[in-house]
Structure 1
Amino acid sequence: MKQNNLKTWFKSGAPGVWMSGGAVAIAIIMTLGLLAVIATRGLGHFWPADVIETDYNIPGQEARVMLGEVVQLEEVPRARLAASGLPVAEEGGEFMTRELLKVGNRDLFGADFTWVVGEWLENPRTPAGVIVVERREWGNFYGYLVDVKQDGQVVASGDAAWPALQERIARVDDLHAQLVRLEKGDIGSINHGLERLRLKTRKLELDGKLDAAAQASLDAERAELEARYKVLEEQLVTLHQQFNRDSMTVRASDGRETEIVLGKVVRAYQPNAMSTLDKMGFYALKLWEFVSDEPREANTEGGIFPAIFGTVMMVLIMAVIVTPFGVVAAVYLREYAKQGVLTRVIRIAVNNLAGVPSIVYGVFGLGFFVYVLGGSIDSLFFPEAAPAPTFGTPGLMWASLTLAILTLPVVIVATEEGLARIPRAVREGSLALGATKIETLWRVVIPMASPAMMTGLILAVARAAGEVAPLMLVGVVKLAPSLPLDGNYPYLHLDQKIMHLGFHIYDVGFQSPNVEAARPLVYATALLLVVVIALLNLTAVYIRNHLREKYKALDH
């Protein structure tokens, strides 16, 4: 009886349903678990952890004071520590604790991180007076504030030093914002204008049209720009003098004192004296800095906004390029091409293109788009810039075109499947009412197939946003803080190199000189890349669902 029930259960298909449901549940759990690990390790980096001060007593050596954040704890075999040359006693347990401390002060100690044996740390404490100084160079400084100086003269010390320091850091932040606006905005615009005049002069020379009147006009325009530059240069010198006016004296854990110019300081804070609410506010500030600021310190500090902007801009341009080409190709194959051997071969080729390694597309983009097409554009339209390339070098446009070629098969296949699902009666009804074939396609067939087109675009965006290998050859670089979109004509600079989140992860994770500092940023950037792809896809999904509801009535 039980055996018959078991056979009936298998024949009903219930085991397959349970297996499919279990597989989906496992996949969801693994995905959420991976995202949780990435989020924990990445987002935890921005929390202002307490700074401990402890005595490090290595057997046989004089004890020394250490100051820093505990980053990682692990247990290692005692024999392994002994083999590394540490004076580890033979008696004791099999394992000992090893801690990774972020001690900062790279200019004094030579490294930001150091491993210590946990059993040798004595008398740990968290003094409220410890300060953490985020610097534009040399990483963080951990120590104690001694005094604040203005033009080399002490203006505050003791209990009055900390409020004076915060007041002057706020002043320096305002000056830094003015410097950035002046250098990147006004002076950058003038430099762009001078370069435009240089190229215009060279073009007139090549065309034989540089007469006295044209030269006088160019000289007058150049003189105006140079006069504006001199005024801005005086402002720049004044701002730099004010920017480097203040400094502070700080004392490290080993007693050494050093002077730090406040112009090199991003912020200073006392994590041990901060309340939970203060730490939450600081955490939100650091997260905002991460997504809105430019990178610094070999991409291991600051933000990644240029990488976010470059990724989104490249994907949007790719979508604008790949969608019409993919739709036109699919419409021709499904609606116009004779269904024969040649058409089947083309479909097989398109399907096989989806499996070509992405680096092959990168080599193709470098060889054809950059060298052949870009070089031809330079020789035809930008001879005045020679020998410096304009489009004959990797840039945003070539990166977008390479991704468009890479994702084109996905859009073609998805669109063609959508066209195939539209009933033949719909086409015949439109033709019977007097519409031409092109009108039927444009007003009936393509609108009904638009959800399938959006599905192809979603898949294309998901693949393109995560690609790295081909982009390394056709336009993505390690550091490009200047955005390809600005206020200078032609506003969108398709010839400019960009940053990309995927390449940023690779660079920070595998090319960074400061591995320990880079590791949490790898997790944070990876999480941000997932969020960016999800937002792009959700936008496309919303559009697809809207189109599906709009044309649902035509399906029946």
Structure 2
Amino acid sequence: MNISVKEWFKSGAPWVWLTGGAVALNVIMVAGLLALIAVRGLGHFWPADVLQADYIESDGSRVVVIGEIADSEDVPAIQMREAGLEVAEGVETVRRDLLKVGNRDLLGSDFRWVTETGLQEIEHPPHLFVAERREWGNFYGFLRQVKQAGELVGEYKVGDADAAYDQLYAELEQRLDRALDIHDQIKDIEKHEIGAINATLERLRLRERSLELKGQLTAADQADIAASRAEQDESYKSLQARLEELYRQIGRDSLVAEVSDGQVVEIELSKVVQVFRPNAMGVGTKLGFYFGQIWAFMTDEPREANTEGGVFPAIFGTVMMVLLMSILVTPFGVVAAVYLREYAKQGTMTRLIRIAVNNLAGVPSIVYGVFGLGFFIYFLGGNIDQLFFPEALPAPTFGTPGLMWASLTLALLTLPVVIVATEEGLSRIPRSIREGSLALGATKAETLWKVVLPMASPAMMTGVILAVARAAGEVAPLMLVGVVKLAPSLPLDGNYPFIHLDQKFMHLGFHIYDVGFQSPNVEAARPLVYATALLLVVVIALLNLSAVAIRNRLREKYKALEH
């Protein structure tokens, strides 16, 4: 039976298709965005082949270039001709490649643009090696010698057998492993053992100052504190002697390599993170190296103005801040919602409060940051320092941006979301359940605590999920209340009181901003922006999925009561 267009529209079918199409379009756009971020970010860790070629400059001179292709683009031929390059007639576009040449300490820049037509005699020598350094980025060249304390322990000359190069490279890897092990020992001593001594000495200083301010510093206290300091000083001297010996050992070995222009460079192995030969790797070896690089990115600390190394402190800071924010916002939001729904008289004032709560959800986040800076840090934190930490003044303890104030600020920012979601959950609980509980002799408080709130817990978790989704990606307020470019230590460590809520911390969102817009090396930072953005999405998704799993479990638990 034929249906007229008018009847078809009246049936609502077109709107169903329109809605479905809009949802499908949104899903495709989100998937496309995530795919773009993933490809651009994860592709950075693949050990791409390194080329060696002769390159004809615009003035006709010929140079040797070594590097890996980081990006490519097509440019108008007229633009190339204006730059002095020869381009055949009839050619409209010329491809040019962004070559990562490394050796920034020698060449002045990690990258350079080369045209496709200018590259001649391209090859991928298997002897080319890449050294990831702690400073100055990657090094590209050919290994020539390995030295120990200035003495030659291995050498390769052009024309020698490949086996000789492999043997020299194996010697380099063995000595690099030793240098990395010593570096880890130095880091452990400096960051943990000496850090613990410094923390103990600071506690002794504050204890002495506190007793002095109270007028209770006795000769016995001074002797006890002096004895403790002497004990810590002895431990420090012992660790310092170990450090001096380790520094002598780590600076013993070095490599000598030849770069693209024939220059010979010597590099201490203490300045090298890893070496690899991408042109000599098979697919399986590259895959192993690739996943190792991704793991290092997630577990290492940043280097080189955050353009090298990993982002573990930022991951840790983000997760810890979100967890603290959730712990703070949930009770406040639930209590406010319970009062508005269960106890407040439903009148004009209550309606105005609900309107105010809804309006707070639309306040720009930077306003919350300014409020957190003024109220939490300067007023509340300053008074806490005056009352509880006078011995540390004038150095602030809580009167400075830190993890606790950042968590409180975001808890305030997301509070309206939790209140609204919890109120909605409370309103959906049938009145008959409340009346049944009261009829059985339970008080209103017992009904609320043992019946109503458990049944409304899935709605509370929905509010927490929405709060986490918003708070984890915020950047603007955090710049004012605790986030920094580089935090020297994590807010959780082995030194008393173990969780340092007064410390500044790193955050993935701010890390993206810093690397993308404040980095001195834009080309090197670009892929890390994509990689960190993908990681932030994954972290938020994992946090939300954890909350969703808890909510679903609660929903199943109390489903029977709803019916």
For this structure pair, what is the TM-score category when the shorter chain's length is used for normalisation?
over 0.9
Q: How does 1:235-254 map to 2 (within 5 A)?
A: 235-254=242-261
Q: How does 1:31-70 map to 2 (within 5 A)?
A: 31-70=30-69
Cα distance in 1 for residues equivalent to 2:480 and 2:254? 44
Cα distance in 2 for residues equivalent to 1:457 and 1:310? 19
Q: Does 1:527 pair with 2:534?
A: yes
Aligned to 2:175: 168
Give 3-state SS (helix, strand or coil) of 2:511's partner: helix
Q: How does 1:189-208 map to 2 (within 5 A)?
A: 189-208=196-215
Give 3-state SS (helix, strand or coil) of 1:466's partner: coil
Q: TM-score, normalised by structure 1?
A: 0.98
Cα distance in 2 for residues equivalent to 1:364 and 1:477? 19
Aligned to 2:92: 94
Matched-pair contact (CA < 8 Å) for 2:145–2:168: yes
Cα distance in 2 for residues equivalent to 1:451 and 1:481? 39
User: Aligned letter for 1:274?
Assistant: M
Cα distance in 2 for residues equivalent to 1:287 and 1:526? 14
User: Aligned letter for 2:493?
Assistant: D
Q: Does 1:498 pair with 2:502?
A: no
Shift, 1:92, TM fit: 4.2
Q: How does 1:437-476 map to 2 (within 5 A)?
A: 437-476=444-483
Cα distance in 1 for residues equivalent to 2:438 and 2:58? 93
- Higher mean Cα deviation, 200-209 or 146-155? 200-209
1:145 aligned residue (143, 146, 153) = 143
Shift, 1:413, TM fit: 0.2
Aligned to 2:187: 180
Q: Does 1:214 pair with 2:213?
A: no
Matched-pair contact (CA < 8 Å) for 1:306–1:481: no
1:389 aligned residue (384, 390, 396) = 396
Shift, 1:535, TM fit: 0.3
Aligned to 2:543: 536
Cα distance in 2 for residues equivalent to 1:312 and 1:78? 50
Shift, 1:118, TM fit: 1.3
Cα distance in 2 for residues equivalent to 1:509 and 1:474? 21
1:39-75 deviations in whole A, cap 9, x for unaligned?
Answer: 0000000000000001001254321100000011111
Matched-pair contact (CA < 8 Å) for 2:131–2:138: yes
Q: Does 1:422 pair with 2:421?
A: no
Aligned to 2:297: 290
Cα distance in 2 for residues equivalent to 1:272 and 1:171? 25
2:311 aligned residue (304, 309, 319) = 304
Cα distance in 2 for residues equivalent to 1:552 and 1:11? 37
Q: Does 1:126 pair with 2:124?
A: yes
Shift, 1:89, TM fit: 4.8
Aligned to 1:19: 18
Q: How does 1:498-517 map to 2 (within 5 A)?
A: 498-517=505-524
Cα distance in 2 for residues equivalent to 1:57 and 1:520? 28
Give 3-state SS (helix, strand or coil) of 1:489's partner: coil
User: Aligned letter for 1:362?
Assistant: G
Matched-pair contact (CA < 8 Å) for 2:59–2:84: no
Cα distance in 1 for residues equivalent to 2:183 and 2:260? 30
1:21-53 deviations in whole A, cap 9, x for unaligned?
Answer: 111111111111110000000000000000000
1:191-218 deviations in whole A, cap 9, x for unaligned?
Answer: 1111111111111111111121110000
Aligned to 1:78: 77
Aligned to 2:161: none
Cα distance in 2 for residues equivalent to 1:481 and 1:256? 37
* Structure-2 change in CA distance of 1:450 and 1:86 (3 Å): same
Cα distance in 2 for residues equivalent to 1:529 and 1:193? 36
Identity %: 68
Cα distance in 2 for residues equivalent to 1:166 and 1:538? 42
Give 3-state SS (helix, strand or coil) of 2:181's partner: helix
Q: Does 1:105 pair with 2:112?
A: no
Give 3-state SS (helix, strand or coil) of 2:117's partner: helix
1:221-246 deviations in whole A, cap 9, x for unaligned?
Answer: 00000001100110011111111110
Q: TM-score, normalised by structure 2?
A: 0.97
Cα distance in 1 for residues equivalent to 2:329 and 2:81? 60
Shift, 1:530, TM fit: 0.4
Matched-pair contact (CA < 8 Å) for 1:419–1:449: yes
1:476-517 deviations in whole A, cap 9, x for unaligned?
Answer: 000014110000000000000000000000000000000000
Matched-pair contact (CA < 8 Å) for 1:78–1:88: no
Shift, 1:91, TM fit: 3.3
Aligned residues: 554
Give 3-state SS (helix, strand or coil) of 2:196's partner: helix
Cα distance in 2 for residues equivalent to 1:331 and 1:244? 65
Cα distance in 2 for residues equivalent to 1:255 and 1:181? 39
Cα distance in 1 for residues equivalent to 2:437 and 2:58? 91
Cα distance in 2 for residues equivalent to 1:202 and 1:366? 28
User: Aligned letter for 1:489?
Assistant: Y
1:491-550 deviations in whole A, cap 9, x for unaligned?
Answer: 000000000000000000000000000000000000000000000000000000000000
Cα distance in 1 for residues equivalent to 2:440 and 2:4? 58
Matched-pair contact (CA < 8 Å) for 2:58–2:84: no
Cα distance in 1 for residues equivalent to 2:253 and 2:171? 11
Shift, 1:179, TM fit: 1.0
Give 3-state SS (helix, strand or coil) of 1:179's partner: helix
- Higher mean Cα deviation, 468-477 or 111-120? 111-120
* Structure-2 change in CA distance of 1:60 and 1:334 (3 Å): closer
Shift, 1:378, TM fit: 0.5
1:425-462 deviations in whole A, cap 9, x for unaligned?
Answer: 11011001000000000000000000000000000000
- Higher mean Cα deviation, 424-433 or 74-83? 74-83
RMSD after superposition: 1.0
Cα distance in 1 for residues equivalent to 2:489 and 2:279? 37
Q: Does 1:374 pair with 2:381?
A: yes
Cα distance in 2 for residues equivalent to 1:117 and 1:278? 31
- Higher mean Cα deviation, 463-472 or 15-24? 15-24
Cα distance in 2 for residues equivalent to 1:493 and 1:144? 47
Aligned to 2:284: 277
Would you identify which runs of 4 or more consecutive aligned residues in structure 1 move more than 6 Å?
Answer: none
1:487 aligned residue (487, 494, 513) = 494
Aligned to 1:155: 153
User: Aligned letter for 2:290?
Assistant: Y
1:134-156 deviations in whole A, cap 9, x for unaligned?
Answer: 00000000010010000011101
Matched-pair contact (CA < 8 Å) for 1:291–1:303: yes
User: Aligned letter for 1:235?
Assistant: R
Cα distance in 1 for residues equivalent to 2:293 and 2:487? 22
Give 3-state SS (helix, strand or coil) of 1:327's partner: helix
Cα distance in 1 for residues equivalent to 2:519 and 2:172? 32
Shift, 1:344, TM fit: 0.1
1:145-172 deviations in whole A, cap 9, x for unaligned?
Answer: 0100000111011223211100001111
Give 3-state SS (helix, strand or coil) of 1:114's partner: strand
